[in-house]
Amino acid sequence: MLTKKMVIEISVMMFLAAFVFSVPSMAAEQKQVTLRLAHMYPDQNPVGLASTMFSKLVEERTGGKVKILIFSSGQLGGDVENRDALMAGTLDFSLNAVPSFSAYIPEVAMTDLPYFWKGPDHFLKFWNGPLAKDWISRYEATTKIKILATNWLMAERHIIAKKSIKTPDDLKGVKLRTSPGFQHHYDGFLAMGATPVFMSFQEVYSALQQGVVDAMENPLVEIYASKFHEVCKFVSLTGHIYNSRAVHIGKGTWEKLTFETQDIMIRAANEAGEYHMALQGLIKSKGERGPVEEVMEKMKKEGVTLVEPDKELFIRKVQQEAHPKYIAKYKDGQALYNQIQGLAK
């Protein structure tokens, strides 16, 4: 279970990273400005709720001088489109998946394979460490995008399908939706036994209804918030991936803000990240009933069957087929793999 200390360390890391781009005068006064933030989730999804909190914190702490309008549910596109818009200067913020860094830092893909992370503590320990800081700096320098926070961690992901899935054999022939552009997810799910299908998040509900795909995967809280349990009645608790959203801001927008506003934004982004993790059930007191447990109970009442799979079979398949493939892609890939895995000890 995550501790408050770990979350605070993430915030400090991102605050120190604030100086990657040039810093405006501390004496400057912030002008009135309205900015736009885009993400692909519904408003009542944890990402949607946390982005609303971020917007409110920034507006309150700047005395109303900075307002952030939120465009949810993929109104302005998915991760790729939003990142491109930031780079072009036509969008101010986006909430992109940390694994999308792999478009510019290829090694990131290996860390987002199924069963790479041993748990949320392992994930955050790495992304609060020196190698991750270097990756973020390289990403910022290449894209001209500033990262305000990476701590919008999601709970472990599970498969929701139209049939019970307990083993890799049960996944054979199952068309499983995966995110466009994430070839490493495609390869990982292929190793797990599925037939992966690239599809935007916004298309998934209707695709499940119409039989275009048979299954999708996400954290339970996300699955329930997006109502996928209405069209699929079996959740296999595979717990195969941990990843996070990162708060992106375009360089042009960032450099127009005063030092004080930049500081406010970094702190607000990380506080909203803490809130997001709480909504995902990743921050709670010992013995406390969290959102995941509540969602599981609701799902069962609504006719969903929770399936306990043989996780070791899935882990073995992925570690034998997908992990070596990605280790071989990178110079000193085995050493990098061992270095990151060693952080779990």
Express each pLDDT in 210-226 by its tens digit: 999 999 999 999 999 99
pLDDT at 16 over 70: no
Give residues with Cβ within 8 angstroms of 217, minimum separation 6.
157, 158, 159, 160, 176, 177, 178, 189, 238, 240, 241
**DSSP of 112-126:** TSTT--SSHHHHHHH
Question: Of the candidates 113, 297, 121, 312, which has an alpha carbon nearest to the alpha carbon of residue 220?
Answer: 297
Which pLDDT band holds residue 18 (cuts at 50, 70, 90)?
A: very low
Looking at the predicted structure, is the pLDDT value of residue 14 above 60?
no
| pLDDT surpasses 50 at 203 | yes
Share of the chain above pLDDT 90, in %: 87
For residue 98, name the pLDDT band (cuts at 50, 70, 90). Answer: very high
The least confident of 52-61, 203-212, 281-290 is 281-290
Tell me the C-alpha distance between 284 and 4, whole Å: 10
The yes-or-no verdict on residue 10 having pLDDT over 90 is no
Q: If you search the block for the tokens 């320990």, which residue do you land on?
A: 125
Is residue 13's pLDDT more than 60? no
Q: Return the higher-pLDDT residue of 27 and 106.
A: 106
Radius of gyration of the chain (CA): 20
Residue 145 scores a pLDDT above 90? yes
What are 110's two structure tokens? Answer: 């290996």
Share of the chain above pLDDT 70, in %: 91
Which tokens is 57 given?
Answer: 């914190």
CA distance 321 to 215: 22
Tokens of 292: 């995941």
**Among the ranges given (26-30, 103-107, 336-340), the one the predictor scored with the smallest mean pLDDT:** 26-30
The mean pLDDT value of the chain amounts to 92
Is the per-residue pLDDT at 9 higher than 70? no
pLDDT at 15: 44
**DSSP-derived pairing of the beta strands 66-71 and 33-38:** parallel
Residue with tokens 């935007």: 200
Residue 123 in this model has a pLDDT that exceeds 80: yes
Give the H/E segment covering residue 77. Answer: none
Q: What is the mean pLDDT of residues 280-289?
A: 74
Question: Is the predicted pLDDT of residue 205 greater than 90, yes or no?
Answer: yes
Full set of structural domains in the chain with CATH: 4-154+244-279 (3.40.190.170), 157-241+291-342 (3.40.190.170)
**Quick one: pLDDT at residue 286?**
60
Only one residue has tokens 């939706």, namely 177
**Predicted pLDDT of residue 290:** 83
- Alpha-carbon span 135 to 129, nearest angstrom: 10
Name the 3-class secondary structure at 75.
Answer: coil
Q: How far is CA 291 from the centre of its chain?
A: 18
Predicted confidence (pLDDT) per residue in 238-284, tens digit: 999 999 999 999 999 999 999 999 999 999 999 999 999 999 999 87
